[in-house]
Amino acid sequence: MIMRRVAIVGVGMTEFGEHWELGYRELVAQAGVRAIEDAKLQGVKIDALYGGTMAAGKLIGQEHITALIADYMGLNPIPATRVEAACASGGVALRTGYMAVASGMHDVVVVGGAEKMTDVPTGEAAIALGGAGDQEWELFMGATFPALYALAARRHMYEYGTTREMLASVAVKNHANGAKNPYAHFRKEISLQAVLDSKMIADPLTIFDCSPISDGAAAVILMPLEKAKEHTDMPIEILASTQASDTLALHSRKSLTELMATKVAVRRALEATKMTPKDIDVCEVHDCFTIAEIMAIEDLGFFEKGKGGQATLDGETALNSKISINTSGGLKACGHPVGATGVKQAVEITWQLRGEAQNGRQVKGAEIGMTHNVGGSGATCVIHVMKRAD
């Protein structure tokens, strides 16, 4: 089957943070309208909507969420489909929209991701998020996600000599980037010592090693590359979209220090594009915890296994260094409204490849970008590789 080339022609997002004044539908509408305006779609027929959201039922009491979105945004009667893959919901929604356009099923697709997480107490949000793991064998037994990633961190420290300072350096770097991002939940730099001295959540992870509970939404517009140039002078082509799975429960995996789904998905993406990790200029990785970023940059092939912590501490993942990681601030500083994260990553990479990243966080000469979105503790991973279209 011959697949069409697919491009992003418009992007938009809300600020991530605590939006007491806005509901779910207002956040989605804000991001969607910005993407549509960016794509200059006024008067153009939209064929389909794919929306990533993880836990709207538990967090805001609303299921059937994409029907609500289509109705509220005046998009009826187009098909509107909800996509759920825990924290990878946005990334898998993007992949679903990509496949719809590449296959020829649809020409103009809106992909959105959103979550409204701050309307419930933190404990209720934690229970909702815990369902991304094995509810029977992990959550029910008291293993929250900080606890699961703390196990991974402790094992990584044992096997490779990773230190708390190395973990903390991830947070320091991502807050430095987030401080430059007008959409970020946290826009303040922090020191290494502040991370080390902050409240312990699950040893060795402190509160500054953990991504926040956030509200927010993001959206992108997809269409065939040959039509994209009618709407933008700089379409961003999606060169590869890959996805892989692993066991839901952490205890069933061969290793606590790597994510097999990441390794499989990135291998397929690089094979499809005939690239190597050295070809990637900028990457948004899934840093729900600082140890998650360290494992990600190793599993993606940017650094040898066990060397990611030292590389981060040495500044090799900072802006305009060996590989620019999480220029948005990542989940750690930009925020993590779980259904929106995978789409937000694509928005950030689009801005980077267009040369439009604001406030001094632009990667110089960025031509190839990647997104890495993970569901749960690694049971789902979706990778996208993008470039400025020729």
Helix (H, G, I), strand (E, B) or coil at 314: coil
Annotated catalytic, 384?
A: no
Which 3 state secondary structure label does DSSP give 11? strand
Beta bridge partner(s), residue 109:
48, 222
Please state whether beta strands 282-284 and 48-52 pair in parallel, antiparallel, or not at all (unpaired): unpaired
Q: Which spans in 103-247 are helix H?
A: 122-130, 145-160, 164-178, 192-197, 225-228
The neighbour count for residue 43, using CB atoms within 10 Å, is 5
Cβ density class 294-319: b for 16+ within 10 Å, e for less:
bbbbbbbbbbeeebbbbbbbeebbbb
Report d(CA 123, CA 345) in Å as an integer: 27
- From residue 73, give the alpha-carbon distance in Å to each of 33, 80, 125, 251, 343: 8, 11, 27, 43, 18
Q: Which two three-digit tokens encode residue 379?
A: 């049971």
Q: Which two tokens stand for residue 60?
A: 């805001």
**Active-site residue identified among 286, 336, 372, 384:** 336
DSSP string computed for 88-106? THHHHHHHHHHHHHHTTS-
Residue environment code for 276-289, b if the CB has 16+ CB neighbours within 10 A, otherwise e: eeeebbbbbbbbbb
Is residue 276 within 8 Å of 156, Cβ to Cβ? no
**Of these residues, 19, 87, 156, 372, which one is catalytic?**
87
Instruction: Check if 87 is active-site.
Output: yes
Vertex 238 angle, CA 225 and 382, to 5°? 150
| Contact predicate 238/386, CB 8 Å | yes
355 neighbors 347 (Cβ within 8 angstroms): no
Within 8 A by CB and 6+ apart from 134, the residues are 248, 249, 250
User: SS3 for 353?
Assistant: helix
The residues annotated with a catalytic role in the active site are 87, 336
